[in-house]
């Protein structure tokens, strides 16, 4: 099982590498005017990758699709079309209030009783059925989805991957590009030793990322954005505070949780970090909704 | 006797509610307010770490009860929930238990979950049937009475 997952990560890892290589090489032949860029001058090629916009959005989605495949190997889809559609409706309404409405977003409910939600690049948002059952209203659901959306909007997973693999795309990708170019003429040969090493590196970085989560700064940024996105969509922003308070009250009773919390801000620290925003922007009650009864009808 | 039964029944009802009532404690010295507003009068001064039971929420405020039977309002962010864990009751959506009780919450997977491998990677190709169009999402929002608001991200980022 472990091996097959490793292989999937490997495929996903290689796909992103290939995508990034393709994005770099394709720039050289398109009208983006990047022909004369000296790759060695790029201190952070990944920023370039991010700035390329539409061209790489497709590749981000293709990569996200690979990651989603891996994640769906580990958890089952909830077999309830009504609930899946409902969560997609809430999600798509939030998307309409975000900066990337044109991504092909997917909101996926997993048949799992844990309290969890996560995202993959390109607009894949996962939420467990256990989370849905712990929430009280639609605004709380919107909060969880908006938090995960923020990670996609800001490309946190892609950036973290780059940091963790220490991939200096300017040099490493250059070498790999040559290898892939030559191997692509024949059939792609994944046994090339250098590729395998890089793939291994990316594979373990992904394991690490989805086990240990993102960095503290990313989480706090996603928290702040989640509150704003919810409010833009008309949802009560304080429902998000209620969700984080719920997380704070969960019993830390598993080894996985302990590992996770070692590196991450506690829910209580996240609440403290949210206070300035709530006090400045949401000090007076606005015309916001929680939609508790629609939620109960749709979920139960 | 009949009245006594009714009282018992009513008590049972309330105790069901109180079983799910959330306990919390104050993280700062705070005034218990008569209404959910910072300008409202103080009922009592509560020291840090005062235990309360949350009764309801209104905007950014909780109506709470504190010993002995004192009720009033506190700001949500003045409180932290006590760790209670969650019961497994009511998991009717699920087809099976799963046996994972991690509470990573809003990011991260447990190692156990990454090891599970009981899903279907090709399910990713079946997701389109759940997708909702922007027009459908707008109709969905309208049906719920949700109204778009123009709000920039805060500087706190």
A224: pLDDT strictly greater than 80? yes
For an interface test with A, give the residue of B75, B108, B154 to mutate (most A CBs within 10 A). Answer: B108
A36: pLDDT strictly greater than 60? no
CB A135, CB A141: distance < 8 Å: yes
Q: DSSP assignment, residue A76? A: P
Least confident of A69-73, A202-206, A264-268: A202-206
Determine whether the interchain pair A76/B151 forms a contact, defined as Cβ–Cβ distance below 8 Å: no
Domain locations in chain A?
2-161+211-299
Compare all CA atoms of chain A with the CA of B82 and give the residue at the minimum distance: A249
Give chain A positions within 8 Å (CB) of B91: 113, 129-130, 133
Please indicate whether residue B8 or residue A233 has the higher confidence score (pLDDT). Answer: A233
According to DSSP, the β-strands at A124-128 and B30-33 are unpaired
ipTM (interface pTM): 0.75
- Tell which residue, B94, B121, B20, has the closest CA to residue A12: B121
Domain locations in chain B?
21-81
- Residue A257 has its nearest CB partner, among B22, B90, B103, at B103
Q: Is B68 on the interface with A (CB under 8 A)?
A: no
Please indicate whether residue A126 or residue A178 has the higher confidence score (pLDDT). Answer: A126
Highest-pLDDT range among A184-193, A209-218, B116-125: A209-218
- Measured CA distances, A135 to A127, A138, A140, A143, B82 (Å): 12, 8, 6, 10, 17
Please indicate whether residue B90 or residue B108 has the higher confidence score (pLDDT). Answer: B108
Residue range A97-104: mean pLDDT, rounded: 94
Residue range A24-39: mean pLDDT, rounded: 31
Determine whether the interchain pair B134/A75 forms a contact, defined as Cβ–Cβ distance below 8 Å: no
- pLDDT tens figures, A233-242: 999 999 999 9
Compare all CA atoms of chain B with the CA of A106 and give the residue at the minimum distance: B131
Counting Cβ atoms within 10 Å, is residue A5 exposed (0-12), middle (13-18) or buried (19+)? buried
Give chain A positions within 8 Å (CB) of B77: 241, 271, 274-275, 278-279
Q: pLDDT > 90: what percent of chain B? A: 48
Q: Is B76 on the interface with A (CB under 8 A)?
A: yes
Determine whether the interchain pair A85/B130 forms a contact, defined as Cβ–Cβ distance below 8 Å: yes
Whether the bond into B131 is cis, omega within 30 of 0? no
- pLDDT for res A6: 56
- pLDDT for res A246: 86
CB A178, CB A21: distance < 8 Å: no
- Residue A289 has its nearest CB partner, among B109, B121, B144, at B144
Q: Is B144 on the interface with A (CB under 8 A)?
A: yes
Give chain B positions within 8 Å (CB) of A62: none
Phi–psi pair at A163, nearest 5 degrees: -65, -45
Q: pLDDT > 90: what percent of chain A? A: 38
CB A148, CB B100: distance < 8 Å: no
**Fold category of B21-81 in CATH:** SH3 type barrels. (2.30.30)
Determine whether the interchain pair B150/A148 forms a contact, defined as Cβ–Cβ distance below 8 Å: no
């Amino acid at each position: 099982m472990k091996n097959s997952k490793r292989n999937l990560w490997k495929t996903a890892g290689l796909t992103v590498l290939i995508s990034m290589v393709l994005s770099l090489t394709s720039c050289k032949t398109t009208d983006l005017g990047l022909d004369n860029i000296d790759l060695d001058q790029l201190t952070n090629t990944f920023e370039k990758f991010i700035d390329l916009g539409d061209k790489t959005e497709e590749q981000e989605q293709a990569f996200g699709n690979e990651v989603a495949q891996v994640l769906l190997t580990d958890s089952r889809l909830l077999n309830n079309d009504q609930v899946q559609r409902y969560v997609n409706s809430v999600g798509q309404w939030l998307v309409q209030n975000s900066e990337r409405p044109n991504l092909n977003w997917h909101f996926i409910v997993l048949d799992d009783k844990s309290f969890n939600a996560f995202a993959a690049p390109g607009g894949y948002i996962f939420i467990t059925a256990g989370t849905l059952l712990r929430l009280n209203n639609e605004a709380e659901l919107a909060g969880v989805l908006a938090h995960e959306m923020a990670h996609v909007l800001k490309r946190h997973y892609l950036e973290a991957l780059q940091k963790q693999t220490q991939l200096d795309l300017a040099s490493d990708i250059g070498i790999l590009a040559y290898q892939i170019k030559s191997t692509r003429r024949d059939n792609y040969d994944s046994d090339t030793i250098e590729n395998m090493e890089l793939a291994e590196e990316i594979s373990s970085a992904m394991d690490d990322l989805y086990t240990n989560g993102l960095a503290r700064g990313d989480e706090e940024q996603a928290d702040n954005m989640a509150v704003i996105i919810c409010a833009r969509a008309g949802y009560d922003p304080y429902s998000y505070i209620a969700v984080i308070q719920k997380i704070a009250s969960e019993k830390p009773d598993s080894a996985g949780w302990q590992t996770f919390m070692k590196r991450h801000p506690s829910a209580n620290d996240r609440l403290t970090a949210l206070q300035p925003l709530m006090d400045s922007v949401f000090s007076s009650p606005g015309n916001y909704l929680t939609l508790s009864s629609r939620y109960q009808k749709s979920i139960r | 006797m009949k009245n006594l039964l009714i009282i018992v029944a009513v008590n049972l009802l309330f105790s069901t509610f109180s079983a799910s009532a959330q306990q919390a404690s104050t993280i700062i010295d705070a005034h218990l307010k008569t209404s959910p507003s910072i300008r409202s009068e103080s009922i009592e001064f509560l020291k840090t770490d005062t235990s309360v039971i949350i009764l309801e929420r209104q905007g950014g405020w909780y109506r709470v009860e504190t010993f002995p039977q004192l009720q009033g309002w506190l700001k949500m962010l003045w409180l932290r929930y006590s760790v209670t864990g969650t019961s497994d009751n009511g998991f009717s959506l699920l087809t099976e238990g799963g046996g994972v009780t991690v509470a990573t919450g809003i990011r991260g997977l447990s190692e156990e979950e990454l090891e599970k491998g009981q899903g279907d990677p090709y399910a990713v190709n079946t997701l389109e049937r759940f997708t909702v169009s922007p027009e459908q999402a707008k109709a969905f929002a309208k049906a719920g009475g949700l109204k778009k608001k123009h709000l920039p991200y805060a500087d706190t980022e």
